Structure 1
């Protein structure tokens, strides 16, 4: 069984200490980092590549809900919070579990069992579907359409469905952008706005707060932390 690499992001040092004790007690978990700062925590996600992030919601610098969206498919998330009112939003964001502080070890262990199952499923999906295409369920009669990732330009969320824009046309599917994001190789695709994921290879230029795509010239909005992440990824290629 592979170890689960964990990261803790919480602005309360005592909460980090408590979760650290739980993590060190669990034989399948490995603590790779912790931060009391949300932005620094996001940097650690990109640097340390954890499988699982224990995340507070009401952070000082940034809302944990937004941070979850920015983390995207880079890691699975477990909310650890003193506030019960975000449970529905957590479900919508497809988090693994929702733990209320103070977190007891027995409840923590239940969340880890669930996380281990989900992470194993994620690995199986990647193995089964391979990394070069997806079969997308389109329509109501079980029809599935192959979308080759090499042909995929960008994905846009619209209401309760997503649109896969490829070189040969559009494919519509009743999915959330979060579900799709977990199936894409993070090294080739990046979320650049709440409603968009782009193929990095399809970006021709960045002008102010927009990415301009090759051939089509389509402009995709990018701003805030998404823009910072994009620039960070491109840093090694800047001349």
Structure 2
């Protein structure tokens, strides 16, 4: 199954937003989460919704797209949009996926999206090989892949540039990001409880407002993730 790319549009021109909304609606594997004409509001949407991709205008009042992109961080992909071609170089300096010049043509839009899809495909093929109930993850620098059954996972822990996958039998260390691991886990069975932790819902022993216990280890429950965590927990309450 192809990955659904979740998108946000941030542009101070409503007509430009409308064009991108129409293009997203016509494009397979894209899902629009939200749009905003305000850069600061857009930043809050990114923090809250955690999109895979942001279509970001460069020239905006109060906060430019370039400034905003530096606040977002590297985990969110950006395709810049602008009416001024001279900003292309600056856009690529912040590691944008692509740069769309207004008025944006649909074929050029598709070209940019396909570039992101190739990036996702490359990441999955080189680091995680996935099936319905297991995946293979690279655990060393020799192209050696370790099979990880989803039912065996207790939790995943991010430590700098690595992720430690904790199971009942072992700990697997992979040079990866927690976001990529999360993309390989079914949302109905796993949940992020902290910027550094994802846990298996059926392996949780107990919880309170600040901690989650898994395999007799207490893990922190972050403020950002508390509401969604308890929404899922409450769905299982008697």
TM over 0.5: same fold? yes
Aligned equivalents of 2:227, 2:3: Cα separation in 1: 30
Provide closer, same or farther for how the CA distance between residues 111 and 232 of structure 1 changes in structure 2, counting only shifts above 3 A: farther
Contact conserved, 1:13 with 1:36, CA < 8 A, in 2? Answer: no
Deviations 1:74-123 (A, max 9, x none): x632342431245577673152x422345632353332223455677799
Cα offset, 1:36, TM superposition: 4.5
Partner of 1:169: 170
* SS, match of residue 92 in structure 1: coil
Structure exhibiting the larger radius of gyration computed from Cα positions: 2
**Structure 1 range deviating more: 145-154 or 5-14:** 5-14
Partner of 2:236: 237
User: Is residue 2:171 matched to residue 1:190?
Assistant: no
Aligned equivalents of 1:11, 1:99: Cα separation in 2: 10
Gaps (5+ residues) in structure 1? Answer: 38-55
Partner of 1:46: none
1:55-66 to 2 correspondences below 5 Å: 58-59=40-41, 62=44, 64=46, 66=47
User: Is residue 2:193 matched to residue 1:217?
Assistant: no
Aligned equivalents of 1:208, 1:86: Cα separation in 2: 32
Provide closer, same or farther for how the CA distance between residues 135 and 206 of structure 1 changes in structure 2, counting only shifts above 3 A: same
Deviations 1:118-162 (A, max 9, x none): 67779999xx63121121211222322211111110011111111
Provide closer, same or farther for how the CA distance between residues 57 and 193 of structure 1 changes in structure 2, counting only shifts above 3 A: farther
Gaps (5+ residues) in structure 2? Answer: 59-64, 84-99
RMSD of aligned C-alpha atoms? 3.8
Q: Which of 77, 81, 84 is the aligned partner of 1:100?
A: 81
Greater relative contact order (CA < 8 Å, ≥ 6 in sequence): 1
**Structure 1 range deviating more: 153-162 or 204-213:** 204-213
Partner of 1:77: 53
Aligned equivalents of 1:30, 1:119: Cα separation in 2: 13
* SS, match of residue 147 in structure 1: strand
* SS, match of residue 237 in structure 1: coil
1:17-56 to 2 correspondences below 5 Å: 17-24=18-25, 26=26, 28=28, 34=34, 36=36
Cα offset, 1:219, TM superposition: 1.1
Partner of 2:209: 208
